[in-house]
A and B are shown apart, each in its own frame.
Chain A
Amino acid sequence: MAGSPEPPAGRASTPGVLLAPADVARVVDRMAHQLIEKAGESLADLVLVGIPTRGAPLARRLAARVAAFSGTAVDTGTVDITLYRDDLRLRGVRALEDTVLPDAGIDGRLVVLVDDVLFSGRSVRAALDALRDLGRPRAVQLAVLVDRGHRELPIRADYVGKNVPTSRAQKVRVHLAETDGTDEVVVVEQ
């Protein structure tokens, strides 16, 4: 898979606002264009599956923009990965979130997993495991708003809104209007 290379580790970004509301909209639009371009004839088969919490509204936004630019309606869904995590013992139990798939399912279709931040890759691994139990897609790709590096698994994103070099001590916070009242990406020191 010709994915986007991850940003170099260990080089910190300056703390502060990385993407303002207008930037978020612009980045989402660009990702939508890339999706249309790359999917080509498969666009009708496309399912954008968000990983809660913020991957879910992100997937719906991407779908809306794809539809606006291409005129093709795109199915969306969400897949909660909590029960597939391998780090529950470290993080403690949490309330589960919705898993919703389109009525037509995901068998034989092109599934693009959508998440806000790509970091260690463990969430994506859990999502891939969950997808395997939910059906058999023709192909699975990955779209993230921010790739901050520090991968712990051989996973790369196919669509990246913004590459952000970070140190491990930094945190990347993605805020979306649907969940947080505003669109914003911020880098903070821990």
Chain B
Amino acid sequence: MKRHLLEAADLDRDDATLVLDTAAQIDAALAGREVKKLPTLRGRTVVNLFYEDSTRTRISFELAAKRLSADVINFSAKGSSVSKGESLKDTALTLEAMGSDAIVVRHSASGAPHRLANWVQGSVVNAGDGTHEHPTQALLDAYTIRRRLGRLDGVRVVVVGDVLHSRVARSNVWLLTTLGAQVTLVAPPTLLPVGVGSWPVEVSYDLDAVLPKADAVMMLRVQAERMNASFFPSAREYSRRYGLDAVRMAALSDDAIVMHPGPMNRGMEIAADVADSVRSTIVEQVGNGVSVRMAVLYLLLGGNA
């Protein structure tokens, strides 16, 4: 593993597999235990530096670090020196001067974790940067697929929704294809980036045409406000053409699973009965997120002094 986890595109097959295998071992080691805590990162300090509100991702990283006995500091940009105009660099150097060993960063600007990595000595973990990447989400998605379906090689994954603005979609495209899965992106053409043709994926505008062949369907969150910028005419039309409801779910093969990175817009991209069905891995994904993030923190921080 490298010193930082900045993007899924950085991970080769061996690295990615190591993370998933480590997460599986951690899961097994902690299964059924009363004491869900390991001493591995005792004395290490992990800073959650969150420039965007994301309670679920922050909690997941916090839990992962705490289960490895690291000290965790949550630094939210709101109400801090950042809101008084402190630069990202000054904030990072301040945190490091206080002894942080790793910075987990969530930021609205694509590439912010890459900038941080140039400025600090410790490890940087990208917890979502702008519309670029969210590598631990992709790792937990890959982990979830592997647990449910037993493999990733040759698995057909359909990613549906706002690919243009989705860091989750980007990370999944790179990670899943690295791990041998076949990815199909489905979206209205307005929500696919110009340049998507160079990605190692198939692209379709027709959800109904691809569902019968899917092993996993990953629904992306779609913000209703996008219709104000004419990405689609109305929430209703979007939902009709690209939403996953019970009728569409019936077209899936028996073993196919339905995924969502959360938070969901029930009734928009996913119907409530689909989200709560036995195919849905949505709750499982949340739990797997902690294990995968423990694996990442262990692999990045465990070895280097």
Whether the complex brings A and B within 8 Å at their CB atoms is answered yes
Name B68's closest neighbour in chain A (CB-CB): A83
**Which residues of B sit under 8 angstroms from A92, Cβ to Cβ?**
303-304
User: Closest approach, in angstroms, between the C-beta of A137 and any C-beta of chain B?
Assistant: 14
CB contact between A95 and one of B22, B29, B33 (< 8 Å): that residue: B22
Residue numbers of A with Cβ under 8 A of B are 80, 83-85, 88-93, 95-100, 129, 132-134
User: Closest approach, in angstroms, between the C-beta of B228 and any C-beta of chain A?
Assistant: 47
User: Closest approach, in angstroms, between the C-beta of A88 and any C-beta of chain B?
Assistant: 5
CB contact between B25 and one of A85, A88, A96, A133 (< 8 Å): that residue: A96
**Which residues of B sit under 8 angstroms from A134, Cβ to Cβ?**
33
Name B36's closest neighbour in chain A (CB-CB): A133
Query: Quick check: is B264 within 8 A (CB to CB) of the other chain?
Result: no
**Which residues of B sit under 8 angstroms from A80, Cβ to Cβ?**
25, 29
CB contact between A93 and one of B33, B38, B298 (< 8 Å): that residue: B298
**Which residues of B sit under 8 angstroms from A97, Cβ to Cβ?**
25
CB contact between B302 and one of A93, A99, A100, A133 (< 8 Å): that residue: A93
**Could you write out 8 A-B pairs with CB less than 8 Å apart?**
A85-B40, A88-B40, A89-B304, A91-B303, A92-B303, A93-B302, A99-B25, A134-B33
CB contact between A98 and one of B22, B28, B35, B299 (< 8 Å): that residue: B28
Chain B residues 291-305 with CB under 8 Å of chain A are: 298-299, 302-305
CA distance A44 to B45 in the complex (A): 45
Residues A83 and B303 in contact, CB atoms below 8 Å apart = no
Residues A133 and B35 in contact, CB atoms below 8 Å apart = yes
In order of increasing CB-CB distance, the 8 nearest A-B pairs are: A96-B25, A93-B303, A92-B303, A89-B305, A93-B302, A83-B40, A133-B35, A99-B29
Residues B303 and A88 in contact, CB atoms below 8 Å apart = yes
Residue numbers of B with Cβ under 8 A of A are 1, 18, 21-22, 25-26, 28-29, 33, 35, 37-40, 68, 298-299, 302-305
CA distance A100 to B25 in the complex (A): 10
User: Closest approach, in angstroms, between the C-beta of B188 and any C-beta of chain A?
Assistant: 43
Given A96-B25, A134-B33, decide whether A84 and B303 contact each other with a Cβ distance below 8 A. Answer: no
Name B37's closest neighbour in chain A (CB-CB): A133
Count chain B CB atoms within 10 A of each CB in A85, A96, A97 and give the residue with the most: A96
CA distance A99 to B25 in the complex (A): 8
CA distance A30 to B252 in the complex (A): 60
Residues A95 and B35 in contact, CB atoms below 8 Å apart = no
User: Closest approach, in angstroms, between the C-beta of A102 and any C-beta of chain B?
Assistant: 12
CA distance A91 to B304 in the complex (A): 9
**Which residues of A sit under 8 angstroms from B303, Cβ to Cβ?**
88-89, 91-93
User: Closest approach, in angstroms, between the C-beta of B139 and any C-beta of chain A?
Assistant: 16
Residues A83 and B305 in contact, CB atoms below 8 Å apart = no
User: Closest approach, in angstroms, between the C-beta of B295 and any C-beta of chain A?
Assistant: 9
CA distance A90 to B1 in the complex (A): 16
**Which residues of B sit under 8 angstroms from A132, Cβ to Cβ?**
35
CA distance A80 to B298 in the complex (A): 15
**Which residues of A sit under 8 angstroms from B25, Cβ to Cβ?**
80, 95-99
